[in-house]
Amino acid sequence: MNAISSLASSRLPIVLVLLVALGSQAIPQPASDIVLLAKTAKPVVAKHGMVTTQDAIATKIGVEVLKKGGNAIDAAVAVGFALAVTHPRAGNLGGGGFFVIWLAEKKHAVALDFREIAPAAINEKSFLDGNGKPDIAKTLRTGLGVGVPGSVSGLATALEKFGSGRFSLADLIAPAIRLARDGVPIESDLKTSLAFFQNTLLRWPSSAKIFARDGKILQDGALVQRDLADTLEAIAKNGPSAFYKGEIAEKIALAVREAGGVMTADDLARYKTEMLEVVRGSYRGYDVLSMPPPSSGGALLIQILNILEGYELIGGPNAPHTLHLMVEAMKRAYADRAEFFGDPAFVKVPLTHLISKDYAARIRKSIDETRAIPSAFIKAGITPKKEGENTTHYSIVDRHGNAVAATVTLNLNFGLGLVAESTGVLLNNELDDFALAPGVPNAYGLVGGAANAPGPNKKPLSSMSPTILLKDGKVFLVTGSPGGSTIITTVLRVISGVIDHRLDIAQAVLLPRIHHQWMPDEVRPERAMERVMPPAQWIAFETYGHKVRFFPFNLGAANSILVTPNGITGISDPRYLGTLAAGH
């Protein structure tokens, strides 16, 4: 049975939410009203396999690969290349990402780390101004913030090591080449994101040539990316070395340097995807497999779940006591993030300790079940800085029970916005995920962030949390999300919704989200939270003493899959337009 359907294209009422979020990376596009959607949303159900992504065209490409006998990894590679064309604000060749893979036959999990890496000429002072103060414009708006891209290497490595062998790299890139050459319709999320981030793109002539006509950002017709098609063709023909060595690499390095950066062709030639052990935990009888450092995501997720495991979360997902405990657990975990996490090639992250049940038990002793503890009492240290919020996540399960949780990013929407001349490759600004000024005392005279200090050939810390849950050795849940520092709490909410509250995957994804990252000391729920909680419940939550500041926009896009006795069920997060969950 073909179970292709989409909540995003359903006829449910959609409320236009005009969002004024200056400086925010969220798109003030017509956002789906999650409270209304939650009343009728149903997951897509399929028998053999499922693909959920943020872009309908990419999803269909993934499903075709599965239908032709490809495994989840083959499909993930095809989707990854397709998203670079159809979803250019986050899908990419010029950025990086992580895969968490479950191989059913071998009963083995592996994490692929194709995070961007700092060029060799970056150092601790690269992002400081003349007064030694962090200069965020250097990372966000110049070539200095561009990390050496990892995605091409990551996708090729995934296929080489874990593909079914039925498809060549060229086979899986072919749909992306066609889309780049023939054009992608400018509608839905592509149209809205181009309009909202036009200044990011129009400031670079090489980008304006592609994304604008007569100086105006494209808002109709098709987005044709001929140079990108040529680059994809070169990779299809000669493998990743076509990207990392020779003409394309030279052009990328030159574009970065002309934009004020320090990347060389040698930096690109050295790039290598790392195969890592997943970070493992358990939650109420389920195994949790997630992304280890250089992401903080998996470890924080497991730490928070370990803390919550010691409580009975009764009264439903929005019960004030449950939300209070979640928030208190989040605070402790994010305080540890600020202190301990960085690129494991440079710093020793005390992972075993942080994800241990004993540590969680100790933390629980510090939690007051009746009132909020101010963040300053938890740990006085570094103020975490705001992270890039734009990223995209996709989840895939195949007929054999293999699964891929994939999260990829350019950091901000469209990254730096700079296309390397005549390559079609949009470049990231991922180095903004470093703590820009470690050693600089904060208001309390304390220093920190050294673990995530910028450095040569170092990876900036991420929050991306592609995650797979197993039950009795079989895939149960595949999830993840974009959202910068809110990724971890978004994924937590989905997992807790499914396990603690027995929600189906649509209901779990549509739960209003809630976030606390220790500093600043404020709880940040989605606006919808206020509407799903009866006033008395909301007042009860406030009496714990949390400082609440609503997000003016929806959080995350948790495109997720839940395997149930009734079939493989999926949902692409309807918070954004144009998403699609599809199976076969």
Tell me the closest approach of the beta carbon of residue 489 to ligand GLY, in angstroms: 13
Q: Pick from 163, 388, 480, 497: which binds ligand GLY (CB under 6 A)? A: 388
Could you give the CA distance from residue 139 to residue 29 in angstroms, rounded to a whole number? 26
Exactly one of 411, 413, 560, 579 binds ligand GLY (CB under 6 A); that residue is: 411
Side-chain half-sphere of 148: how many Cα atoms within 13 Å? 30
Burial of 246 (0-12, 13-18, 19+ CB in 10 A): middle
Q: Which is nearer to ligand GLY, 391 or 423 (CB)?
A: 391
Is the CB of 71 or the CB of 462 nearer to ligand GLY? 462
Residues 273-332 that bind ligand GLY (CB under 6 A): none
> CB–CB of 224/231 below 8 Å?
no
Residue 89 CA: distances (Å) to CA of 57, 113, 201, 288, 391 = 15, 21, 10, 29, 8
Which of 164, 60, 155, 123 is CA-nearest to residue 399?
164
Of 271, 305, 258, 311, residue with least CA distance to 286: 305
Identify residues 208-227 at the interface with ligand GLY (CB under 6 A): none
Q: Which of residues 439-478 bind ligand GLY (CB under 6 A)?
A: 462-464
Closer residue to ligand GLY, CB minimum distance, 322 or 411: 411
CB of 454 to ligand GLY, least distance (A): 15
Stretch that binds ligand GLY, among 202-210, 255-263, 278-286, 384-392 (CB under 6 A): 384-392
Other Cβ atoms closer than 10 A to 358: 9
Q: Interacting stretch for ligand GLY, rule CB under 6 A, among 250-258, 329-337, 385-393, 521-529? A: 385-393
Nearer to ligand GLY, 54 or 411 (CB): 411
Q: Does 387 bind ligand GLY (CB under 6 A)?
A: yes
Backbone φ and ψ for 392, nearest 5 degrees, come out as: -145, 145
Distance CA 61, CA 35 (A): 30
Our CB check for ligand GLY shows the closer of 231 and 411 to be 411
Residue nearest to ligand GLY (CB): 462
Question: Is the CB of 388 or the CB of 401 nearer to ligand GLY?
Answer: 388
How far is 449 from 527, CA to CA, in rounded Å?
31
Which tokens in the block code for residue 531? 């509407």
The C-alpha angle with vertex 277 and arms to 497 and 460, in degrees rounded to 5, equals 80
Site track 121-160 with ligand GLY (rule: CB under 6 A), x = hit: ----------------------------------------
Residues in the chain: 584
Residue in the block written with tokens 């943020």? 54
User: Tokens 């503890």 identify what position?
Assistant: 373
Whether cis (ω within 30° of 0) applies to the bond prior to 535 is no
CB of 82 to ligand GLY, least distance (A): 21
DSSP assignment of 494-508, as one string?
HHHHHHTT---HHHH
* Candidates 156-164, 193-201, 279-287, 387-395; binding stretch for ligand GLY (CB under 6 A): 387-395
Whichever of 25 and 164 has its CB closer to ligand GLY, that residue is: 25
Active-site residue identified among 86, 264, 322, 391: 391
Q: Does 336 bind ligand GLY (CB under 6 A)?
A: no
Q: How far is the CB of 150 from ligand GLY (least distance, A)?
A: 12
Q: How far is the CB of 411 from ligand GLY (least distance, A)?
A: 4
- Crossing angle of helices 151-162 and 169-182, in 10° steps, is 140
Distance of CA 442 to the CA centre of its chain: 29
Strand ranges, E, within 195-341 = 212-213, 216-217, 222-223, 274-276, 279-283, 286-290
Q: Is 231 in the site for ligand GLY (CB under 6 A)?
A: no
Interface map 548-567 toward ligand GLY (x if CB under 6 A): --------------------
Please state the closest distance from residue 462 (CB atom) to ligand GLY, in A.
Answer: 3
Task: List the one residue from 328, 398, 433, 500 that touches ligand GLY (CB under 6 A).
Answer: 433
How many residues sit close enough to ligand GLY to count as binding (CB under 6 A)?
11
Going from the C-alpha of 32 to that of each of 21, 37, 56, 526, 553, the distances in angstroms are 17, 7, 16, 13, 11
The C-alpha atoms of residue 511 and residue 363 are separated, in whole angstroms, by 26
CB of 116 to ligand GLY, least distance (A): 9
- Rounded to an integer, what distance in angstroms lies between the CA atom of residue 211 and that of residue 459? 30
Among 59, 231, 409, 572, binds ligand GLY (CB under 6 A): 409
Nearer to ligand GLY, 322 or 479 (CB): 479
Question: Which of 463/572 has CB closer to ligand GLY?
Answer: 463
User: In whole angstroms, how close is the CB of 294 to ligand GLY at the nearest point?
Assistant: 9
> Does 484 engage in binding with ligand GLY (CB under 6 A)?
yes
In 336-462, where do the E strands start and end? 390-397, 403-411, 419-420, 425-426
Tell me whether residue 407 is one of the annotated catalytic residues.
Answer: no
Q: At its nearest, how many Å lie between ligand GLY and the CB of residue 392?
A: 11
Distance (Å, rounded) from C-alpha 319 to C-alpha 533? 8
Q: Is 391 in the site for ligand GLY (CB under 6 A)?
A: yes
Contact 298, 279 (CB under 8 A): yes
The binding site for ligand GLY (CB under 6 A) comprises 387-388, 391, 409, 411, 430, 433, 462-464, 484
Catalytic residue numbers read 391
